[in-house]
A and B are shown apart, each in its own frame.
Chain A
Amino acid sequence: MKRLTLVLMLSLVFCASAWAGTTTYAGNSYWPAGNAASTSFGPGWYRNTFYKTASFDTTLTFIDNVSYSWHSTVRSWATFVETHWLSSAVKKAYCRANTTGPSWASCTANN
């Protein structure tokens, strides 16, 4: 019983740090210029973010699976970049380094 309680408590600690509906689809300590990543295609993605520990030039967008057109694209040197596409279309979230990123940065999408 004590073991079961301990396992449950540990599970709660780990679950508490989880972020429901958030997927980190890229995380690297070095981003060569041109390096890109994306999620799988799905209808639920609506928010796309790029977090950097140092400033470099990046692009964030959504790409639909019919015309492969870009939607709600944002390009910026800011250390935190965010965009939203509030559409039920099937799409993927996409991020790209336009210049070399010298330190940790990650791309995350919400659905």
Chain B
Amino acid sequence: MLRMKRKRNWIAVVGAVVAGGVFAGAVIAAQLDERGIPQDLEASLRSDPLVQVADIPADGGLGRRGVFVQQTSAGFLCLWDAPNASSRARQGGCNDTDDPFGGRELFLSLAYDGGPAVADVRDARLIGLASTEVPEVAVLMSDGSRRKVNLRKASIGDDSYQAFGYRFKSSDLRRGIAPTAVLALNDAGEEVDRQPTGFAG
């Protein structure tokens, strides 16, 4: 009799531990998915509005695109390269709203089709945000030349930024002249940030 009672108690303890574990797991699963991504980020990416802050001009047979900012309710600031605000064919990324530059001077995304060899790249585009304290952004090309990027003022919430969209010339890409790095320059023309593109220079 006593043995039966101990067995029941043991089963009750194990059951309570299992139930506690399941409950804790369900609570965690409600906040983070299996990748560790906050679930409200996924939801906000689908529902929060995109605002266009710069253009990516058409070139040859390549259509015009836009640079869009999405301030999410999940606390992320996202920057997208897309044909329009509602397109699913978008590329880009997000940083925490409290640190939109991720500890750097530029928030950049480089998007391209074709490759990975430069001569096989059909279209390459650069989008980004710079703080208002960066007077110039330039692209360093593999032939040693620099291409100045036009900056456009952008107000996002209560904050001011400079936004840009840049499409690399297809004639350069065909000749194997590739963007090797993006530079943020100060008033004296000195580099304050350099982000490599991965194309050999």
Contact = CB atoms under 8 A, between A and B. Distances in A.
**Do A and B interact with each other, yes or no?**
yes
Given A106-B35, A108-B35, A73 B96 contact: no
B71 interface: no
A78 B94 contact: yes
A102 interface: no
Interface in B29-46: 29-30, 33-37, 41, 45
A69 B76 CA distance: 32
A84 B94 contact: no
Nearest to A59: B198
B91 A74 contact: yes
B169 interface: no
B2 interface: no
Given A17-B29, A17-B33, A55-B102, A76 B109 contact: yes
B113 A79 contact: no
B145 interface: no
Given A13-B22, A24-B34, A55-B102, A79 B94 contact: yes
Nearest to B112: A73
Contacts of A86: 88-89
B120 interface: yes
Interface residues of B, number: 43
Contact of B114 (A70, A75, A81): A70
A80 B76 contact: yes
Contacts of B26: 13, 16-17
Interface string B108-138: 1111111110001000000000000000000
Nearest to B113: A71
A76 B114 contact: no
A40 B34 CA distance: 19
Contacts of B197: 75
A111 interface: no
A39 interface: no
Contacts of B94: 78-80, 82
Interface string A64-98: 00000111111111111111101000000000001
Interface of A: 10, 13, 16-19, 22, 24, 27, 51, 53, 55, 57, 59, 69-84, 86, 98, 104, 106, 108
Given A70-B113, A78-B79, A84-B89, 15 more contacts: A17-B25, A17-B26, A57-B196, A73-B111, A74-B92, A75-B110, A76-B93, A77-B104, A77-B195, A78-B95, A80-B93, A81-B92, A82-B45, A83-B111, A84-B91
9 contacts: A27-B35, A55-B103, A57-B195, A72-B113, A73-B116, A78-B92, A78-B109, A79-B93, A83-B91
